Structure 1
């Protein structure tokens, strides 16, 4: 009987805890303990939310944002409704604090929630429910807020605050990633790490939903989610140059296209796509001689690029003469 007593005590506690959670509408919610940051860049007006957790695909439920409105992080026992509902209230003129207070007042499970809100004016607000698992806390600064629960120690929030405040010259996305890396270095989630997300939205509302997010990156399952997120952000920056190059090609502005493709290639010199379009831009701008060695190196690694080259003149993406096209295809 004495051996069974500890087990019975634990069982009773679990049963009562489960009943309490069920009664408050929390038990059914997803269990995503984590650390996060919501922030604004005062120079560009961009707003961002960054998150890491030891939970699968944290980006699907924790991080929310809308251009010209704000960003939201909803975590601990996650109530995803805080995301769209918080953005809706802020879009109607409520400040981040007013929206957060309005929603938590209606939530019977608020003691288990942790939240970070930021509006387009840079007003930030955080909430840490009394039943969030220690170490749990938050900090609201100027144009940002950081929040964390189930951390290894109490050093995470101070580390995030320091990192964000001391790197004001970085672009917002890079600044947010660096802040999260500082959180992980200082201890991070007591359980470890698994997934991460980074969203950046603009200062002004957008007419088209597909233009709303300037950066939208997720790592759903990784042993090093922040390192992977950092790598993806670098790829994202390179492809920003590629997209600008594509637009320049459409406008027959080959000098701009060449500059943009070249900038992307410098960032990822082994990327065949970036090499290929740099060669296309060179050929289209009358610099065939410079383009040929690049075409050759690409074709040697993957002959499909040569097949693609045959199809481009019909689409107007390769504007060389038939003789120059023949020189390219003979490589």
Structure 2
């Protein structure tokens, strides 16, 4: 009921995730990223706590594989969980429990992991990773979205998807992009539209947090 891609941008060190599901509000439960540390998707029969625990383990200087193993060793129901990890060095790790739903698979690439469950076909995950890796877009977010679009074009889930999200962290403690479509008949299309709205404003909002004396105007009534 979910397909996702986690990745590290080698050019900037940013971490990002795109995700879509037939369930509502998938990104609120499954997308986890921390600047300078890593990115995690915790999905299938989701335990949202696992994402934070893996990031904490990565922050404690474990690599992706060791962090994933350490967290799964403490998890009561690992057979139901599907997790993907990319760490600060671009190393990857993945776990797809045997009780993952329906057609499920995963694929590791260069500083990226794609995984899904209840898929229309296993090829969806290869297209998800390939769409990202083969994208020539300049912005990391655009490349992530190219992967998501490729997965949808390849069949996506076994049924229609209704939610999608994109989360990106860079060199500040907060997400520089955190966009969600919690329920829609076209969540990936609406997510792309949100990114088109956010992209030209993204750096302005970063500047407002770092140094408000250099912050550009919001352009709303009452703002000087």
Q: So what's the TM-score if we normalise by structure 2?
A: 0.90
Task: For residues 95-133 of structure 1, give each alpha carbon's deviation from its aligned partner in whole angstroms, at most 9, with x where no partner exists.
Answer: 111111111222231111111111111111111111212
Deviation for aligned residue 1:168: 5.0
Task: For residues 302-323 of structure 1, give each alpha carbon's deviation from its aligned partner in whole angstroms, at most 9, with x where no partner exists.
Answer: xxx8xx4xx66xxxx3xxxxxx
In terms of fraction of residues, the more strand-rich structure is 2
Q: 1:250 to 1:83 in 2, by over 3 A?
A: same
**Aligned position for 1:225:** 187
The answer on whether the counterparts of 1:64 and 1:71 sit within 8 Å (CA) in structure 2 is yes
**Aligned position for 2:164:** 196
- Using the alignment, how far apart are the partners of 1:151 and 1:244 within structure 2? 37
Q: 1:93 to 1:244 in 2, by over 3 A?
A: closer
The answer on whether the counterparts of 2:207 and 2:214 sit within 8 Å (CA) in structure 1 is no
**Aligned position for 1:268:** none
In terms of fraction of residues, the more helix-rich structure is 1
The answer on whether the counterparts of 2:5 and 2:129 sit within 8 Å (CA) in structure 1 is no
SS at match of 1:130: coil
Deviation for aligned residue 1:67: 0.5
Q: 1:62 to 1:245 in 2, by over 3 A?
A: closer
**Aligned position for 1:293:** none
Task: For residues 14-37 of structure 1, give each alpha carbon's deviation from its aligned partner in whole angstroms, at most 9, with x where no partner exists.
Answer: xxxxxxxxxxxxxxxxxxx30001
- In structure 1, runs of 5+ residues without a counterpart are 1-32, 262-272, 278-304, 318-331
Count matched residues. 223
Q: So what's the TM-score if we normalise by structure 1?
A: 0.62
**Aligned position for 1:172:** 140
**Aligned position for 1:43:** 11
Deviation for aligned residue 1:245: 9.5
- Using the alignment, how far apart are the partners of 2:94 and 2:72 within structure 1? 11
Aligned-residue Cα RMSD (Å) equals 2.4
- In structure 2, runs of 5+ residues without a counterpart are none
